[in-house]
Amino acid sequence: MAHLLHIDSSPRGERSQSRRLTREFVEQWQQVHPGDTVSYRDVGRNPVPHIDEPWIAAAFTPPEKHTPQLQEAIHLSDQLVDEFLAADIYIIGVPMYNFSVPSSFKAYIDQIVRVGRTVAFEPDDAANVFKPLVLGKKMFVIEARGDSGFQPGGRYEKMNHHDPYLVTVFGFMGITDITFIHVENDEYGGQKLAESIASARTQVAQLVGSNT
Per the annotation, binding residues for FMN are 10, 16-18, 96-99
> In Å, how far from its chain's centre is CA 85?
13
- Binding-site members are 10, 16-18, 96-99
> How far is residue 51's CA from residue 103's CA, in Å, rounded to a whole number?
12
- The set of residues, in sequence order, having a beta carbon less than 8 Å from that of 145 and lying 6+ positions away, is 95, 96, 182, 183, 184, 185, 186
Residue 140's nearest CA partner among 42, 3, 7, 1 is 7
Answer for the pair 44, 11: CB distance below 8 angstroms, yes or no. Answer: yes
CA angle 86, 88, 94 (to 5 degrees): 95
> How far is residue 16's CA from residue 42's CA, in Å, rounded to a whole number?
13
> How far is residue 129's CA from residue 123's CA, in Å, rounded to a whole number?
5
> How far is residue 89's CA from residue 4's CA, in Å, rounded to a whole number?
5
C-alpha distances in angstroms, 66 versus 30, 54, 110? 41, 11, 20
